[in-house]
Amino acid sequence: MQRFEIDTRDRLQIALKKADTTQHIQVGHNAIQGVADMFKQCFPGKRAVVIADVNTFKAAGKQVQEVLEAQLDMVLPPHVFDVEDMHAEMQHVDALTEFLRSVDAIPVAVGSGTINDLTKLSAYRNHRQYMVVVTAASVDGYTAFGASITAGGFKQTFQCPAPRGVLADLDVLSQAPVEMNAWGYADLIAKIPAGADWIIADALGIEAIDSVAWELVQGPLRDMIRDPVGVRSGDGKALCLLIEGLIMSGLAMQSLGSSRPASGAEHQFSHLWDIEHHTHHGIAPSHGFKVAIGSLSSLALYEKVLPMDLQNRNWSLGEIQSRWVSFDQTEKRIRSRYSDETVAQQIVDQVRAKYITAEVLFKRLQQLSALWPELKPRLEAQVIPFIELKTKLGLVNGPEKPEDIGIELTRLKDSFEFARYIRTRYTLLDVAHETDVMETCVSQIFSGGAYWSSKNQDSHKVLESEDVIF
């Protein structure tokens, strides 16, 4: 075992003490050989059944099955989804739920986001736990509570517990498609602007920072994202740190019972495009790459808001009342944009829960003004420059501009308004809107080509589809 593997193991063991569901994690070269031992620790005396799809079974499922059969007495034949264009959809949850109902066994999910989420929710529906063998460093949801499933045409998070055990074999991760590990890198680096948004919400008394969850994510984050070239090339240490960071994010969400430690405005952009059923070349871009463009957008907005003097703005109640849009007007605008009643109602419900009156806003802006001298340097220390994030995404072969995932500049500009409607979460999008600087900031972001321009860079092809699931 190399030094970096030992360090990761030690940090994860400390972090596990903060988790309420996951009890065992193993990351390292040839880790699959320990899958039977982990299963026995997690589920003594129980039967095992491997859950995979045709791709993940080739990647690691066959080897997992062989190790389990060699070392356990009770192993059922594997359940392998043979589905073209496999995604985390409710129809597959229903099918897997029925299968698990028919067998007395603990599922061992072998895959990445899709297989993990399908198994997580299906196991919960059968009142049993599960473990997962990771096949790509592509998501932060392995150790998180909840499963992201498309139901009724919309991606939704269904509450269900995290796995009892998680195993990640670095040899398997190094063989995963390059773009999949890039998805995970993009999702992990997004914790930088997400952390800044949480600092704002905490300072304004909207959503307090939990020190345990904060440290799990932000403590190791800068080291975890240091080597995008290594991630792209399949370097063992870089992948070890990446999967550690993703696991830590999941443990933080598990510990807090909320996605706040790992999600801010950048995820609101992604969720907006999910609701709008965005596709590029006929397929949905990966979550990680949508979040990457959301992160770039969030950092661009930080670069416009932070230089502003929000301390000495003389907000008056009358001025705020004159410009503040009523909830009824906001609802009308949302419904005029989204003709699908289900979509519109989902957004309206979020806005209703988040909406405040002009009088409450007046008090909030007074608070922000008083806090700004202290808050501004904290935010400056948390964020990184837009160009740094763009460079890192390029090095990992991720998207550097919105067109790389099929989002035109005019649509991205429009998304700055509507993204804040998608979740009740308070972020920089709300600050810019409430302080009445959003229009100015967005205009600056999209003028002069300082951030995105079809002339200032060559497009490179990025593989955004989750068609290939490992």
| Reported pTM | 0.93
Q: Does domain 3-176 have CATH number 3.40.50.1970?
A: yes
Which pLDDT score, from 0 to 100, does residue 461 have? 40
Angstrom distance (rounded) from CA 247 to CA 243: 6
Which pLDDT score, from 0 to 100, does residue 304 have? 98
Closest CA to 31 of 58, 72, 1: 1
pLDDT tens figures, 446-456: 998 889 865 44
Angstrom distance (rounded) from CA 206 to CA 229: 38
Angle between helices 327-337 and 341-354 in degrees, nearest 10: 150
pLDDT band with cut points at 50, 70 and 90 for residue 413: very high
Query: Can you give the length of the chain in residues?
Result: 470
pLDDT tens figures, 176-200: 999 999 999 999 999 999 999 999 9
Mean residue pLDDT of the chain comes to: 93
Which pLDDT score, from 0 to 100, does residue 465 have? 35
166 contacts: CB under 8 Å, gap ≥ 6: 22, 24, 25, 26, 131, 132, 134, 142, 143, 247
Strands (E), 46-189: 48-53, 79-81, 106-111, 131-134, 147-151, 154-158, 165-169
- In percent, how much of the chain has pLDDT > 90? 87
DSSP 57-85: IIIIIHHHHHHHHHH-S-BPPPEEE--TT
Average pLDDT of the residues in 85-113: 95
Which pLDDT score, from 0 to 100, does residue 346 have? 87
pLDDT tens figures, 264-294: 999 999 999 998 989 999 999 999 999 999 9
Task: Show me where the domains of the chain are located.
Answer: 3-176, 264-445
Q: Is the pLDDT of residue 458 over 60?
A: no
Q: Is the pLDDT of residue 9 over 50?
A: yes
